[in-house]
């Protein structure tokens, strides 16, 4: 069951994470360029392992998750993407809403893969999961991510200015 493909695009397929993904996951989390706008500091192996166990290895409910991204030409795990539960301020999932994220190994940046994955998951979230809103928050310095998010149809909703980091909050909803 764990290896079932949930979604497929021209160059990618998506499945639940498995233990065999752990080393590649930890390598990504240890890369300062990968982490620059998503957390800031590289994660040590122990921290990354814990994060993997607490998050990506947990049972998936209603198909809302960050799925393992496999690059078909190499049959290789290269990152994660998906629509996961959108939690309110009391850490409860908001019914009918999801949050989008995409994270790729640096070796695969600039090939259009985040855009390809993002388009597929927005279609999946709105048309198959029937969500009425998908949100995402991006560090305002993360130009590549902003570009991807706008290309796949998200609209800027709000700007959150912080002392150290600021965020763009984006939303996408079904066309009425
Ligand atoms: C952000 C990230 C997902 C982009 O992945 P990617 O596969 O390289 O993205 P794509 O190739 O689909 O598209 C990137 C687009 O941004 C553009 N771009 C790249 N760097 C840029 C920059 N510094 N400024 C502006 N645009 C930039 C590219 O030209 C491309 O646009 P184009 O298709 O119009 O030419 C990837 O860099 C990543 O995983 N970063 C680490 C984790 C992260 O920041 N995730 C986002 C948080 S949700």
CA 104 – CA 145 distance, rounded (Å): 11
What is the whole-number distance in angstroms between the Cα of residue 144 and the centre of ligand 1? 3
**37: Cβ below 6 Å to ligand 1?**
yes
Q: List, in order of start, the domains of the chain with CATH numbers.
A: 5-172 (3.40.630.30)
- How many residues are listed for the chain in this entry? 176
Nearest to 125 by CA among 145, 104, 148, 152: 152
CA 54 – CA 31 distance, rounded (Å): 20
What is the whole-number distance in angstroms between the Cα of residue 133 and the centre of ligand 1? 23
Burial letters 5-37, b for 16+ CB under 10 A, else e = ebbeeebbbbbbbeeebbeebbebbeeeebbeb
**147: Cβ below 6 Å to ligand 1?**
yes
**104: Cβ below 6 Å to ligand 1?**
yes
**107: Cβ below 6 Å to ligand 1?**
no
**For residue 33, which atom of ligand 1 is closest to its CA?**
41
* pLDDT of the chain, 176 residues: tens digit per residue: 346 999 999 999 999 999 999 999 999 999 999 999 999 899 999 999 999 999 999 999 999 999 999 999 999 999 999 999 999 999 999 999 999 999 999 999 999 999 999 999 999 999 999 999 999 999 999 999 999 999 999 999 999 999 999 999 999 999 87
Tell me what pLDDT residue 176 has. 75
**81: Cβ below 6 Å to ligand 1?**
no
Question: Going edge to edge, which strands form the sheet with 155-160?
Answer: 5-8, 12-15, 65-71, 76-87, 93-104, 133-139, 167-172, 155-160
pTM of the model: 0.96
Burial letters 98-118, b for 16+ CB under 10 A, else e = bbbbbbbbeebeeeebbebbb
């Amino acid at each position: 069951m764990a290896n079932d493909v949930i979604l497929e695009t021209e160059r990618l397929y998506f499945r639940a994470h498995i233990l065999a993904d752990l080393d590649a996951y930890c390598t990504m989390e240890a890369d300062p360029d990968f982490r620059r706008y998503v957390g800031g500091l590289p994660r040590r192996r122990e921290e990354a392992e814990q994060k993997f166990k607490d998050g990506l290895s947990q049972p998936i409910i209603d198909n809302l998750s960050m799925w393992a991204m496999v690059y078909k030409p190499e049959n290789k795990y290269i990152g994660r993407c998906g629509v996961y539960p959108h939690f309110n301020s009391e850490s409860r999932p908001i019914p009918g809403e999801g949050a989008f994220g995409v994270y790729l190994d640096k070796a695969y940046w600039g090939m259009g893969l985040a855009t390809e994955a993002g388009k597929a998951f927005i279609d999946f979230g709105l048309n198959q999961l029937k969500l009425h809103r998908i949100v995402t928050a991006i560090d305002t310095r993360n130009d590549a991510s902003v570009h991807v998010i706008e290309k796949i149809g998200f609209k800027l909703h709000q700007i959150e200015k912080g002392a150290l980091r600021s965020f763009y909050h984006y939303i996408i909803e079904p066309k009425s």
